[in-house]
Amino acid sequence: MVRRGSDTLLFDCGEGAQQQMMRARTGFSVDAIFVTHWHADHFLGILGLVQTLSFNGRTDPLPIYGPEWVTGFLTTLRHISRFNLKFPVSATELRDGDWVRFDGYTVHAFATNHGIASLGYVLAEDTRPGRFNREQAIALGVPPGPLFGKIQRGETVSVQKDGTTVSVSPDDVMGRPRPGRKVVYTGDTRPLPGGMPEIAWDADLLIHDATYDESEAGRAAEFAHATAKEAGAAATQARAGTLALVHLSSRYTGAPGHIADAHETFGGKVIAPDDLEMIEIPYRD
Ligand SMILES: [Zn+2]
Ligand SMILES: [Zn+2]
């Protein structure tokens, strides 16, 4: 789950998702679901969640995005659900390079490598305007007040200074535009043959498949998953800030081996979040 402002997005929705949402006290006000691929561990939770939303009287539409078969999934969902959906659910197929626009950010899809149609997702915030230099604006003759807001919205304003009219543009008093935040979620995948796509570069947080540790690299290749070391290599190539190792096989009781493996190929911060762990992503700068 990614929560940004008043938006709540789910990236995959595994079995028991709604129980986990109850435990985490997030509420059920999901705005969209992005499914990486149609293996059961990534979508079974949608059934229970949709039923609960309907029972709770939801009226807002719920868009579900995913690779090939997303419309087949929705048809199946309707067939096996012995209840009337009280709100519209839509299915939209995404392919490599497609994107979905939200208020202030975009979710981009990129092809992953998992043996069936599969996508990873990049949530990329819009670039933010540079910092407004209040003292500089006053020194140039702009009085504090509504003109500040005009400049911050990109307008050039005219002011009286020492008996002459001067114009002050955003460039005069605004710093360089600042990057928005970026979160990348691969879903299940082998390392991508062409490396991580450019749209995923410089992520603040890269959430990557790390099903196996290095002792089972063979199984990772056989079952189209990544090892923690391979996840580390992807994080280095994509210049990620923090690497979160997820989808660890239940055969492991902890993640110390995975984290050490990832550090062999990645010098940044590596975490293996527990269920329900929350991660705050601060702005850079
Ligand atoms: Zn899978
Ligand atoms: Zn999986």
Q: What is the pLDDT of residues 170-214, one digit of tens each?
A: 999 999 999 999 999 999 999 999 999 999 999 999 999 999 999
Among left, alpha and beta (phi > 0; psi -120 to 50; other), residue 258 is alpha
The pTM score is 0.92
98 is catalytic: no
Single out the catalytic residue among 7, 12, 41, 213. Answer: 41
In this predicted structure, what is the pLDDT of residue 71? 98
Question: Which residues neighbour ligand 1 (ion) by CB within 5 Å?
Answer: 39, 188
CA distance 144 to 208: 47
Q: Which residues hold their Cβ within 5 A of ligand 2, which is an ion?
A: 41, 188
> Whose atoms come closest to the Cα of 12: which ligand?
2
Helix (H, G, I), strand (E, B) or coil at 238: coil
Look at residue 83 in the predicted model and tell me its pLDDT: 65
Spans of the chain, pLDDT less than 50: none
Quote the pLDDT of residue 4: 97
Q: How far apart are CA 126 and CA 102, in angstroms?
A: 10
Give the CA angle between residues 65, 67, 71 to the nearest 5°.
65
E-strand ranges in 60-98 read 62-66, 89-93
